[in-house]
Amino acid sequence: MTVFDQLSLDGLRFNLALRTSEKNNAIPLDFFMPPSPNSGSFCLPNHSSTVRRPFPLSHGTTTLGFIFQGGVIAAADTRASAGGLVACPAVHKITPIHSHLVVTSSGSGADCMLWERILIREIRLYQLRHRRRLSIRGTAKLLSFMLITDSTSRNSGPKLIYVCSDGARLQGDIFSVGSGSPYAYGVLDGGLKWSLSKDEAISLAREAVFRATHRDAYSGNNVDLFHITAQGWSQRKREDLKEEYYRDMERRNKGLFYALKN
């Protein structure tokens, strides 16, 4: 991100002087007004102090993915939050990259969207040059190299790879990322197994997301779900998580009532 910050600053054509810190790789700390003959008539109070946010903009989400015999399931909620504010209830946190690959995003929405667009562009260029798709491992390695600013393998079955913002890559059979992930893991660990059918896998992913969104304030609204196989990805219709939660509670209450009645 340092490169983009420097490029944006180079594009400015105003007479501004930047104070930087040598310990922080020349990160701008604050702006100083240039000397001017009319500086007495144009003076901002305490202009050399850094402007701070009135409150920290923490963020959270619930995204998950797991491998089963029928392919890969990826699911996520649709709430974008900024601290205690619900910024948008209907964002898309799962992005198809090509016909057999989707990515889920967690963290700063603007950064994720930027890197997703760059990744899509690079994969398309690779396919045009080599007349074949870049493998999942190759895609993860490419994204990792782009993030850390520092040969691909052919696919052999489904892959699930987590790429952190510091460039670290982890491959596994189950991942959940975001502030709602502890709740999602609680559901996934109890129900995930290789022999799940497609309907069972979809039901498990939906339950993991809507349970997490019920407990996590930063997740909520809807659930997006993708199923990825060797034939490509397919997307389920977006569902309202609140209605799903109350439908589940109603089913449980009816079951308890019948049990007590019998």
Q: Of 16-20, 28-32, 148-152, 174-178, give the lowest mean pLDDT range.
A: 16-20
- Reply yes or no on whether the pLDDT at 260 is more than 70: no
Share of the chain above pLDDT 70, in %: 71
Look at residue 153 and tell me whether its pLDDT is greater than 70.
no
Catalytic site positions:
61
pLDDT band of residue 225 (cuts 50, 70, 90) is very high
pLDDT of residue 47: 46
The stretch 121-136 carries a mean pLDDT of: 90
Task: Identify the band that residue 8 occupies on the pLDDT scale cut at 50, 70 and 90.
Answer: very low
Beta bridge partners of 29: none
pLDDT digits (tens, 9 = 90+) for 11-28: 333 333 333 344 444 444
Pinpoint the alpha helices (H) of 60-180. Answer: 109-130, 136-148
Q: Which residue has the tokens 């102090």?
A: 49
Higher-confidence residue: 46 or 98?
98
Mean pLDDT for 196-203 is 94
pLDDT of 244 > 80? The answer is no
Question: Is the per-residue pLDDT at 117 higher than 60?
Answer: yes
CATH number of 2-6+55-258: 3.60.20.10
**For the ranges 55-64, 141-150, 160-169, 221-230, the one whose mean pLDDT is highest:** 221-230
How far apart, in whole angstroms, are the C-alpha atoms of residue 150 and residue 109?
24
State the DSSP string of 165-228: TTS-EEE-SEEEESTTHHHHHHHHHHH--TT--HHHHHHHHHHHHHHHHHH-TTS-SEEEEEEE
Q: C-alpha dihedral over 126, 127, 132, 135, to 10 degrees? A: 50
Alpha-carbon gap, residue 143 to 107, rounded angstroms: 16
For the chain, the structural domain boundaries read 2-6+55-258
Whether 167 and 183 have beta carbons less than 8 Å apart is answered as no
pLDDT digits (tens, 9 = 90+) for 29-66: 444 444 545 544 444 444 444 556 555 656 678 899 99
47-51, 54-58, 129-133, 227-231: least confidently modelled range: 47-51
State the pLDDT at residue 56: 61
Average pLDDT over residues 221-247: 86
